[in-house]
Amino acid sequence: MRIQIVFALAVLSAYVVSAQPKWEIGLTGGASFYLGDLAPSEWPVWSETKPMAGVQFGYRLSPGWSLRLGLSGSKITGDDNNFPEDNWVRLYRKATFETTMGEAALAFIWEPWGRKRITEGNVLRRIWSPYLFTGFGRLQGKVEPDFSNIVDDGLLPQARRDQKAKLNRGFWTMPVGVGLRKDLGRNSFLNAEFGVRTAFSDHLDGVSFAGNPNDKDWYAFAGLALGWRLGRWDVDGDGILDKDDKCPRVPGKASAQGCPDADGDGVEDLEDACPEVAGLIEQSGCPDTDRDGTMDLLDACPTDPGPEATQGCPDADSDNIADKDDECPELAGLEAFKGCPDTDGDGIPDKDDECPDVSGFEQFKGCPFADADKDGIADEDDRCPDIAGTEAFKGCPDTDGDSVADPDDRCPELAGELGGCPDADKDGVADIDDHCPETAGEKDNGGCPPLPEEKRKVLDLATKAVQFETAKAALKKASLKTLSEIADILKEYDYYHLSIEGHTDSQGSDKLNQGLSEKRAQACYDYLVKQGIAAERLKHAGFGETMPVATNKTAAGRQLNRRVEFKLSIE
């Protein structure tokens, strides 16, 4: 059965990557399996699966062949309890083993379809493809069999012979296997691999004479390898690295950036419009006999110089109409009139225009009445003589179609009923002027609903209720409730802005009073911001003693002058 497995592996197809870069390195991880005297069948026992890890070093010999040195470490185990209950080894031998091993193996890898992975544009086709490998290696094993549970005394002599054998030693191996590879990027790849090995020995599990000494032990690895290529890419081998090679799959010349150039004119064949005839670089590799800047391939007059606009044919009047097609070759004209001019630009050629120097209309044989915007309305009767309009609006346009002429329309691109502007909330204030365009309000309040009287009283009372420590900007605790009520008002009526103005009495210096009033207004501002009011809705200022509301000669008057005022506005 094991020979059949090896044969099946040998006939599998393989996968290949480009010949460059040549060096590769990878990390391997997976599982190890065991086949031998303590395996109940020709297939591995999955419960005895153990981890495997290693590194790989590869060198690509050609697009189809490569060498790989693999270093790996793993463990294999076996147990007679894995046999059926009525099997003699389970009933009488009852052996187990554990072998810790390290392997160094040199493998030859066959990859027949490597070049197909790279497209003409030097782009990797990220597909899974198979590969086949075989080679030779050296295994160093630490073999630990256990015969302590033998029931049949007749097996003891064979078990002792096995225990006396030189178990912890090296074994030659031959790896054979298959895998799948997928490129993750230009310099990285992933391998999925399965391979079997024969150790050319029956002592890999420490059981030979107590088992079948004529049957060699096998082990297998399965796992994934993440690898990287080391070096630079030059797929076509033309000496130009792929990163600089415009044709990385086809050998070419340095003068053509790595692409073929059959006519040697410095223009690669793929971009050469005339690849078999030497030409000019600026003419895409084609000749230009008359040197007029138009290649012969596209030149309607290849022996007579002419501009590109006329396909290389002469154009005496420079009107971009070739002389051979121009009915007025000495006068610059228009294509619509076969090269003849229309001096006044009224769409009537000069030869048919009774007023060739004045723009007019066909029904008047090219002569006009004054109509600068060509809307059919005489300028003297046209409110908008420079902009085409309609007779209904005396020559002016109505862009938004709301029956208000654009000169009278405050919102000429939005249809509306208030001076041509929309009023979404129908409160009589056009949206362009409405600070609350989606909520009906009052015209005197910027289109927003007014503040209820009880809310306004809070602001009025705040002037007296907000108090500070004497000669300081620290808010008294009793003032915080009032400021919180102001914050609630601003949150509920979010279309209002608030101006905070600080004032003092005349006690102290002007400079001291000015600074104190500013700091007190700032303290109220900072508290409201902490309460969640957007800073852009607030402004604050101090006016010192400059704006008294009462006399500073009495204590009562000075108390009234020491205040912070809160003023709402629609902005």
Q: Check if the beta carbon of residue 255 is closer than 8 Å to that of residue 266.
A: yes
Of the two residues 360 and 456, the one the predictor is more confident about is 456
Is a pLDDT exceeding 70 seen at residue 157? yes
CA angle centred on 507, ends 505 and 509, rounded to 5°: 110
pLDDT number for residue 528: 94
pLDDT number for residue 381: 82
At residue 1 the predicted structure's pLDDT band, cuts being 50, 70 and 90, is: very low
Cα 532 to Cα 131: distance, rounded to the nearest angstrom = 67
Is a pLDDT exceeding 50 seen at residue 571? yes
Domain 453-569 annotated CATH 3.30.70.600 = no
Q: What is the pLDDT of residues 416-468, one digit of tens each?
A: 787 778 878 787 888 787 788 888 878 888 888 888 988 888 888 887 889 89
At residue 110 the predicted structure's pLDDT band, cuts being 50, 70 and 90, is: very high
Cα 560 to Cα 23: distance, rounded to the nearest angstrom = 90
Cα 217 to Cα 354: distance, rounded to the nearest angstrom = 112
Element (H, E) at 519: helix 510-530
Select from 141, 1, 134 the least CA-distant residue to 72: 141
pLDDT number for residue 19: 40
Residues 266, 271, 274, 278, Cα dihedral to 10°: 0
% of the chain at pLDDT higher than 70: 88
Is a pLDDT exceeding 80 seen at residue 282? no
Of the two residues 231 and 534, the one the predictor is more confident about is 534
**Residue environment code for 144-175, b if the CB has 16+ CB neighbours within 10 A, otherwise e:** ebbbeebeeeebeebbeebeebebeeebebbb
Of the two residues 355 and 396, the one the predictor is more confident about is 396
Is a pLDDT exceeding 90 seen at residue 497? yes
Is a pLDDT exceeding 60 seen at residue 11? no
List the chain domain ranges.
Answer: 2-230, 453-569
Decide if 2-230 and 453-569 have a common fold: no
Spell out the residues 6+ positions from residue 488 whose beta carbon is closer than 8 angstroms to its own.
Answer: none
Spell out the residues 6+ positions from residue 269 whose beta carbon is closer than 8 angstroms to its own.
Answer: 256, 259, 260, 261, 262, 275
Query: Coil, strand, or helix at residue 114?
Result: helix
Query: Coil, strand, or helix at residue 82?
Result: helix
Of the two residues 65 and 367, the one the predictor is more confident about is 65
Is a pLDDT exceeding 70 seen at residue 17? no
Of the two residues 236 and 157, the one the predictor is more confident about is 157
Cα 336 to Cα 320: distance, rounded to the nearest angstrom = 12
At residue 124 the predicted structure's pLDDT band, cuts being 50, 70 and 90, is: low
pLDDT number for residue 433: 78
pLDDT number for residue 363: 74
Q: What is the pLDDT of residues 131-148, one digit of tens each?
A: 999 999 999 989 889 888
Cα 508 to Cα 471: distance, rounded to the nearest angstrom = 10
Cα 128 to Cα 13: distance, rounded to the nearest angstrom = 12
Spell out the residues 6+ positions from residue 530 whose beta carbon is closer than 8 angstroms to its own.
Answer: none
Q: What is the pLDDT of residues 296-355, one digit of tens each?
A: 677 778 877 878 787 778 877 787 888 788 778 877 888 787 778 888 888 888 778 878
User: What would the DSSP string read from start to end of 128-180?
Assistant: -EEEEEEEEEEEEEEEEEE-TT---GGGHHHHHHHHHS--SSEEEEEEEEEEE
Q: Name the one residue in this structure whose structure tokens are 């949150």.
A: 491
- Provide the CATH number for the domain formed by 2-230 in this structure: 2.40.160.20
CA angle centred on 471, ends 470 and 477, rounded to 5°: 45
Cα 168 to Cα 63: distance, rounded to the nearest angstrom = 41
Of the two residues 426 and 6, the one the predictor is more confident about is 426
Cα 310 to Cα 301: distance, rounded to the nearest angstrom = 9
Which segments of 210-279 does DSSP mark as H helices, in order? Answer: none
Select from 278, 281, 341, 332 the least CA-distant residue to 309: 332
Q: In whole numbers, what is the pLDDT of the chain averaged over residues? A: 82
pLDDT number for residue 190: 92
Q: Check if the beta carbon of residue 15 is closer than 8 Å to that of residue 113.
A: yes
pLDDT number for residue 316: 78
Q: Check if the beta carbon of residue 151 is closer than 8 Å to that of residue 94.
A: yes
Of the two residues 232 and 98, the one the predictor is more confident about is 98
Cα 436 to Cα 62: distance, rounded to the nearest angstrom = 77
Q: Check if the beta carbon of residue 57 is closer than 8 Å to that of residue 25.
A: yes
